[in-house]
Amino acid sequence: MKFPRRSGILLHPTSLPGPAGIGDFGTEAYRFIDFLERSGNKLWQVLPLNPTGYGDSPFQCFSASAGNPLLISLETLVEQGVLSQEDLQPPPAFANHRVDYGAVLRYKVPILTKAAHIFLKGSVGNERLEFDHFCRANATWLDDFALFMASKNVHDGAPWTEWAADVAARKPGATHDWAARFAAEIEVVKYWQFAFFQQWQALRSYAHGHGILIIGDLPIYVAHDSADVWANRELFFLEPEGNPTKVAGVPPDYFSATGQLWGNPIYNWSLIKSSGYSWWIERFRAVLRLYDIVRIDHFRGFEAYWEVPASERTAMNGRWIKGPGAELFSRLQQELGELPIIAENLGVITAEVEQIRHQFGFPGMAILQFAFGNDPQGPSFRPHNYVQNLVAYTGTHDNDTTVGWWNSEGTIDSVRTPEDVVKEHVFARTYLGCADEPINWTMIRTVLASVANTAIIPLQDVLGLGTEARMNLPGTSRGNWRWRFRPDALSPELAKRLRELNEAYDR
């Protein structure tokens, strides 16, 4: 699909301001959409909105279909009459620039649980009909997810492979018995999903009313400790006890001498194919109900994926295995029509990967930060080599901010030496024509001026923030996904500056 010429901002909702210690779908989300409109942007890109698991990562979630209940706005529940203002306990003194996930959980979960009990006990008429309809319409994933989360809570958060053997293995009758024993807890989980989707769709409708489309993110893999794997064990390479025999990652490259070992279980593609790719069709159907455009993370894994024995400590001793290729996307297109997909084609990209992308017209990605160093893909990331059907970024959630990248002497997430950094800066200054303009605005201007039809800027770059505002450092499991912007950051002057650039470059 070829997208029209437009621009947008990358910002995960957890990074919004707000009183509950984490961004949510409340007032500040609506204000951000207003800012997008005033600044001439037409796209809002978010990371996966699913319930986070290990390391609070939106790329390691308990479900590929469910929503993260921490994004539910408590203030909206008050406005709806589910909660009263008195039900909102005074929040602790949360930092306004970082998310403390432990503190947020301790504060929000009891209030969300109370909201569920109030709703489930007192809802009547249309409210109850809407809830019941939601549960029926989403039963294919919601029933398994609700039982998974209730069972996980009973087992003190342990991975499903450490649960009682009967429910871990989903033995005949076990899931029915557990569902009956923990029916009340299951209903709470279902209410949270109802509230999440109700609030998200209201926010998305508001965005549409202001000319803003949502770009969402679909990771190719799902977490091992998830309802997806627990309820569909046959679709993955697992031991009889449920642990993976083969896991996902990427091989060593310029940015990592040992590769990246993600640990997600590998799909049994031959079995998935024999079912007509039904699991993937339903996954895409669900994600297209959430977003207008979908960025597929690690798109190259559909052509061939790096398979590593689960016993390995690094990703070095893996091998490339052919994936489903174009056949999967042909089936998706048959079932769902034209696919509004952005293909993340970073890393080791082959001609076969690009052939699939071109066959379906999926735009690829270019990262301006990578254009000036020794990255083998660097030449393709230089704007004079861009094509129109492309999504150009200054950086992504996995990069340092532009200011942090520019000020570094050698980044901690790559093999760049100080000498490499000096050469990179010399070339960048020549290429970008750096003058007195701050580097973040030079990079923003360059991306917006390019021929790429889609230009996306992380909000950290718009705000000119340094490494302290970085969202994620790949290969680490602590301290990520925590950044929030301050309530007064989105000034009228900032919106005006962005609008002038967007108008100058016909976006």
Beta bridge partners of residue 390, listed in sequence order: 364
Active-site residue, selected from the candidate residues 24, 28, 297, 303: 297
Which residue type sits at 296?
A: I
Cα–Cα distances in Å, from 312 out to 226, 248, 287, 315, 477?
22, 11, 32, 7, 18
What count of Cα atoms within 13 Å lies in the side-chain half-sphere of residue 147? 20
Contact 405, 369 (CB under 8 A): yes
Taking the C-alpha atoms of residue 325 and residue 302, their distance in angstroms, rounded to an integer, is 5
Distances (CA, A) of 193 to 16, 66, 116, 344, 436: 21, 7, 10, 29, 49
Q: Is 234 a catalytic residue?
A: no
- Going by C-alpha positions, the residue among 468, 462, 449 that lies closest to residue 493 is 462
Q: Report the alpha-carbon distance of residue 336 to residue 286 in Å, rounded.
A: 11
Identified catalytic residue from 375, 398, 400, 461: 398
Does 419 qualify as catalytic in the annotation?
A: no
Cβ atoms of residues 393 and 340 within 8 Å? no
CA distance 460 to 469: 7
Calpha distance 229→238 (Å, rounded): 10
Distant-in-sequence, close-in-space partners of 80: CB < 8 Å, separation ≥ 6? none
Label residues 174-211 b or e (16+ Cβ within 10 Å = b).
Answer: bbeebbeebeebbbbbbbbbbbbbbbbeebbeebeeee
Active-site annotation holds for 225: no
- In this structure, the number of other CB atoms found within 10 A of the CB of residue 388 comes to 13
Three-state secondary structure readout of 446-482: HHHHCCCCEEEEEHHHHHCCCHHHCCCCCCCCCCCCC
- Kindly name the residue from 217, 303, 344, 424 that is annotated as catalytic: 344
User: Residue 152: which of 172, 135, 174, 167 has the closest Cα?
Assistant: 167
Active site residues per annotation: 297, 344, 398
